[in-house]
Structure formats: structure tokens, C-alpha cells
A and B are shown apart, each in its own frame.
Chain A
Amino acid sequence: MEPLTDHTGRVLPLRRSDVDTDQIIPSRFCRRLTKTGYADGLFARWREADDFVLNDPARAGGSVLVAGPNFATGSSREHAVWALRDWGIAAVLAPSFGDIFRRNALKNGLLAVQLPDAVVSGLLDAADRDPGFLVTVDLVACEVRWDGGRQAFEVDPRARRLLLDGQDDIAVTLADGDRIAAYERGRPHWLPVFGAARAG
């Protein structure tokens, strides 16, 4: 992956809580075998309403989604991340996230950043007033900045380092291959195995 340090973009305000991943991408769009090509499924049901934020011409090209608490709860489908990314969204800011989504997002370079409730409310209000409202998400400084304000955030240190360096997650783990092998030698022999190993 290309190194990722920061992103600046216009805010898409989504004033809803508990947005589940079935809303972000309904299951009927999750049947493909690729990691790309999911933009058409993004919020597919909600986009049928003309007044949905993604349909607002004044906000076309917005790339920082700001949402209510417990964003992307529910299903583990990584398609939710792929759909947001394919649509052109580079960061999601919310007071809290579904755990699995947050992990999936960072693995794909989608900056899922948790901010205090009051900060999110302020960003939503500012974006409501001004469709051109810009926000910068800075992964180096671990802060979100906007005209007249800034807020520090915490992010998983490993995920951050991988993104900043553009490193491959699996390659980093495989560097510990000897340690994994040593662990495997100490596992109880009666633990279950599958397939051909059973007979052998």
C-alpha cells in the first residue's frame, strides 16, 4: 500500500446513530468475489431518498463522513469499507464504531477516527451550515483539524505505523514466524485438526 499520512476533504454529515453495516452495504451487493466495485451498493436503500446526504449536489465529492455513535455496527462484512472507499470516502469520524469495522477500515486505509461526542456534534453543525466545510485528518500528528479548531485522537499504534509506512500487515507478522513456530510446538497434541491431518 502507498504510505498514508493525512487527508483533507469536505464533510458529509450523517446525523444518525447505530448505522449498521447492512445499511452501509445491503447483503445483496456483497456477493461479488472482488475487493472493488462496491460504490453502487453504498447506502443503497437510503440513497433512494432524494434528501439523503450522498444525493446532495452541493456536497458532491465530499470525502469525510461524519456520523453518530456506534457507526458500522453489526455484520463483519469488509464490503462496508470497500464500498465507502470506492465511493471516494477517505475518513469516517464518529463518537464510536463497531469494533470489527474499525479494524477492517484501518486495514484498508480508511481512517476511522473516534472523536468526543461534542466534537462530532460541532462538526455536524458546521457542515450543515457550510457544504464546503473542510476537515483534515492527520495520522502523523494524530489530530483532526478544521478552521478554528483541532482535536487529538487515538488510533491503534500498529495500524498507524503500517499506514504511515505503507507496510504489508501480513509481512510484518510473518517476520515473527519463528516465534509462531515455537508456539506451535508447545500446543497440546489433543487439540482438534481438520481434513487429511485427522487420518494421519
Chain B
Amino acid sequence: MSEPRTLVEKIWDAHRIPSGSDGPDLLYVDAHLVHEATSAQAFDGLRLAGRKVRRPDLTLAVEDHNVPTDSLSITDPISVEQVARLRGNCAEHGIELFPHGDARQGIVHVVGPELGAIQPGMTVVCGDSHTSTHGAFGALAFGVGTSDVEHVLATQTLPMPRPRTMAVEFTGTLPPDVTAKDLMLALLAEIGANGARGHVLEYRGAAIRGLSMESRMTLCNLSIEAGARAGMVAPDEVTFEYLATRPRRPAGTDWDEALAHWSTLHTDPGAVFDRTVTLEVGALSPVVTWGTNPGQAVPLSQAVPDPARFTDAAERAAARRALEYMALEPGTRMRDIEVDTVFLGSCTNGRIEDLRAAAAVLRGRVLAPSVRMLVVPGSMQVRDQAEREGLHEVFRAAGAEWRLSGCSMCLGMNADRLSGPRRCASTSNRNYEGRQGDTARTHLVSPAVAAATAVAGRLAAPADLS
């Protein structure tokens, strides 16, 4: 028992149920988050097999992927049907649901944490790849497909081999204009969009300790873009302080008991990771993407790279394809790239801190005439908080649209899609071909860069404005 263990090993061991058969261990799931876009077929499967939801009390549902963000009434017939099905399934199985229009509705990965329902040491599963977000609390959280959603509904477990571990050591001091988004885009550029495949990441180093919970969520959210199974930050005072005022935290003496447990959740000195990567952060500056995967990123101060200079043949071919899709020439300065759309929102950057950062840039300024900007709060609670702070007035005065909460233009599944070859600076997580619209071109950016870009009409940092 005294063998030093990593954080993920501690959580794994605490949730492992040895199988009676010769299969892999079962991992017990403490919280199962459900949404309308990947659950209907899972509930159908249960029904067909005559099974019940084992632990409706460990299951929370929200409507986020396919809801409108410009109206409280859903008119799209497919959305209506999806949402009706989720509501029916939740009613039938006794699952708590935050429907579109509810004051607690929002993007699943924003809603769970703000409730205080995601706590250190938990295991969290959801039918969405960005479930890695919840690792910010020192939880083991990962996305699954619909078959696994059904498996968790029926058994509250997943049969899984123990994941490999990878330490991501951030050394040095983060410069003030560099956000968690930039940090991750820099990491992705360094290790590639598959650089962490099969691993659970633990983000470490003094630079991480200085990050707020919102920033840690941004960090962990993007773990999947490195191909990682999950990403985590060990809990500390920042985590405990965030949780202390949340409605669903443990209360009274339960809080003390929980806190005592949470305080043990860190990687022991001498514990061994399967892999370690190190990134020096002291010299970083804002980072933006130029290509069609999140690893195709460069500092905003640089230029579109020349594919011919990539030594790896597959990377070279991918870069050529990407530049063709993005309609960019090698050598073009990133700051010279004009955009017509700016999207501020998503489970990556739709939290209050993100809205504050963007509003700070937009205060007293107006959007470039050619730019449309959507501001989509990550949850209705975030929206409410922003309105209490007057941020919505800043956005509106600048000429941006102040919208309701949902996944919106991050994934192009709902009505918030770009039509035609629009070019978008987006605070979301994926710049894939066609992600935001069939021929849309996406540049991933931080909230501050998004706001500055909206004013300049081209990719820009706040320091470029004045």
C-alpha cells in the first residue's frame, strides 16, 4: 500500500471492481452526464433488453447540443424530437434534467462543475469527448460512445483496462497575456493532435497552480485534442475554494470528511508516469491555429508555415491539405488574416472568466463593420452572472449578439452554423474541415484574442488595438 502512486492510479484503484470473469476490471462511475444528442439510442437499447437505469440518482441530463441559442422555443422539428425523447427518457427513469429554458440549463461540461457536482477523486463519464473538462477538479473524466452510455446506464460501470499515465510538466512563469487556451494550443503544436493517445494526462507545475478553476477546465477540456483519454489537475486550495460555495458540495461535517479525502489526492513523490513531456511556458505568447486540426497552431506573431518544411511526410501532406481548405498561403502573417465571424463560447471557453476577458477588451470599442460576433454563455447561470456584472451591455454596445446557452457554433449540429466559406475566429475546440459549416474555416483562439480580432477584423491580440 505504501508504493507511491500517481493521482490517476489512486482514483483508478478507488473505483476498481475486480471482475469475476477473466475480463478487465470494472470501473465504477460516480457521475454520468447525459445530453440529447448521444443518448436516445442508449435508452432504446435498455428498453429493448428490458433493463432499467441502475443509478438514476448518479445521472444528470441537460439539453445542450441541439438547442437554439436565439430563442427559448425550439422550432426545428429534429431538435424538438430529440429533446422530447430525452425528456421522455428522463421522466421514465427518474433522471434529473435541466431542459432548454431552465435557469440551470447550459453546456453539460459547464453545468456539472458550477453545481459543485463534480468533485475531486470522482469518476465522471459522458457521451461527449470533451468530458475531459471535469479533470480540472482532480476527477477522472472521459468521453464515451453511445454503446458505453447504455452500459453505464445499465451497470454504472465500464469494463476498462488501466490507462497509461503521462505527466505534462509546465515549467516557468506564465506571462500575463497568455491564457490556458494558449498554453494548450502551444502544447498541441508541440506534441501533435495525437501526441497523448491512450494516456491520461496530469498537468503539473507552478504555472498550473496559479490557474483558476475556469482556466483549469479549459486546459483539461482540450486534453482530448491531443488524443488523450483524459486530463487532470490535482486538487488544491483553488479547487476547494471553488467548491465551497457551490449548491451541491458536501455540507457540514460531510464537507470536512470530503476535504480530508480530497487532500490525499495528489501524485506521491517518487510515483512513476509512463511518459513525461515538459513545456517551458515563460516565453509563450498568444497562439492561434492555421490548419484543420488543433495541433496545427503557431504564435499569433508568426506566419502560416510552409508545408515543405515539415520533415514528416504525413504531416507535410496534412499541412498541404489544410492550407488548401483554409485558403491560406505559406508565409502570410497570422495577423494579416481577415475574419468575418467571431464565436465566443463552448465548453472550452464559455465560462464567466472567458466572458470577462473578452468584455475587458471590448469595453468602449466596436466590432469591425465586416464582423459578426456571437457571444454564447456556457450556461444560463454564466449568462445570469454576466448580466449582473453588466457584461452583456458591453457586448451589445460593441455590436455583438448576446445569446442563450448551448453548444451553438462549436459543432455545427444546431442552427448556429456558418453558410459559405466564412472565416471564423472561434474560442471553441475544433478547427476540423466543415466543423462550423460545410465550407467554414476556423481559427481557434483564446477569448481575449477573439475579442481583439472582432474589433480589428483580422486576427489580433488585445495589445494590437489601442
A binds B: yes
Q: Residue B38 at the A interface, CB < 8 A?
A: yes
Q: Residue A35 at the B interface, CB < 8 A?
A: yes
Residues on B with beta carbons closer than 8 Å to the beta carbon of A157: 22-24
Q: How many A-B residue pairs have CB under 8 A?
A: 210
Our pick among A75, A98, A156, A183 for the contact of B28 (Cβ within 8 Å) is A183
* Contact between A191 and B157, CB atoms less than 8 A apart: no
* Contact between B37 and A176, CB atoms less than 8 A apart: no
Residues on A with beta carbons closer than 8 Å to the beta carbon of B31: 192
Q: Residue B205 at the A interface, CB < 8 A?
A: no
Closest to A182 in B: B17
* Contact between B127 and A76, CB atoms less than 8 A apart: yes
Q: Residue B421 at the A interface, CB < 8 A?
A: no
Q: Residue B154 at the A interface, CB < 8 A?
A: yes
- Interface residues in A143-187 by Cβ distance below 8 A to B read 156-158, 161, 168-170, 172-177, 179-180, 183-184, 187
Q: How many residues of B contact A (CB 8 A)?
A: 85
Our pick among B194, B229, B314, B413 for the contact of A28 (Cβ within 8 Å) is B413
Our pick among B44, B293, B438 for the contact of A18 (Cβ within 8 Å) is B293
Our pick among B23, B41, B148, B433 for the contact of A45 (Cβ within 8 Å) is B433
Q: Residue A118 at the B interface, CB < 8 A?
A: no
Of the candidate stretches A5-13, A19-27, A56-64, A129-137, the one touching chain B is: A19-27
* Contact between B144 and A192, CB atoms less than 8 A apart: no
In this complex, the member of B37, B129, B150, B248 whose beta carbon has the largest number of chain A beta carbons within 10 angstroms is B129
Nearest chain B CB to A115's CB is how many angstroms away? 15
- Chain B 348-367 interface 0/1 with A at a Cβ cutoff of 8 Å (1 = within): 00000000000000000000
Question: How far is B28's CA from A170's CA once the two chains are assembled, in angstroms?
Answer: 14
* Contact between B194 and A18, CB atoms less than 8 A apart: yes
Residues on A with beta carbons closer than 8 Å to the beta carbon of B147: 78, 104, 107-108, 169
- Chain B 147-173 interface 0/1 with A at a Cβ cutoff of 8 Å (1 = within): 110110011110101000000000000
Question: How far is B292's CA from A22's CA once the two chains are assembled, in angstroms?
Answer: 11
Closest to A173 in B: B155
The size bracket of the interface on A is 35 or more
Q: Residue B272 at the A interface, CB < 8 A?
A: no
* Contact between B434 and A73, CB atoms less than 8 A apart: no
Q: Residue B210 at the A interface, CB < 8 A?
A: no
Q: Residue B383 at the A interface, CB < 8 A?
A: no
Nearest chain A CB to B314's CB is how many angstroms away? 4
Our pick among A23, A35, A180 for the contact of B432 (Cβ within 8 Å) is A23
**Contact A31:B21 (CB < 8 A) given known A69-B314, A78-B146, A195-B94:** no
- Interface residues in B1-57 by Cβ distance below 8 A to A read 17-24, 26, 28, 30-31, 37-38, 40-41, 44, 49, 51, 54, 56-57
Q: Residue B238 at the A interface, CB < 8 A?
A: no
Our pick among B66, B119, B254, B434 for the contact of A31 (Cβ within 8 Å) is B66
Question: How far is B124's CA from A128's CA once the two chains are assembled, in angstroms?
Answer: 44
* Contact between B117 and A76, CB atoms less than 8 A apart: no
* Contact between A195 and B20, CB atoms less than 8 A apart: no
Of the candidate stretches B78-86, B279-287, B444-452, the one touching chain A is: B78-86
Q: Residue B299 at the A interface, CB < 8 A?
A: no
Our pick among A69, A180, A192 for the contact of B248 (Cβ within 8 Å) is A192
Residues on B with beta carbons closer than 8 Å to the beta carbon of A196: 57, 94, 96
Residues on A with beta carbons closer than 8 Å to the beta carbon of B161: 156
Interface residues of B (CB under 8 A from A): 17-24, 26, 28, 30-31, 37-38, 40-41, 44, 49, 51, 54, 56-60, 66, 78-79, 81-82, 85, 94-96, 116-117, 119, 122, 127-129, 143-148, 150-151, 154-157, 159, 161, 193-194, 197-198, 224, 227, 229, 248, 250, 254-255, 257-258, 261, 293, 314-315, 317-318, 321, 411-413, 417, 430, 432-435, 438
Nearest 5 pairs between A and B by C-beta? A195-B96, A197-B57, A104-B145, A78-B145, A190-B254
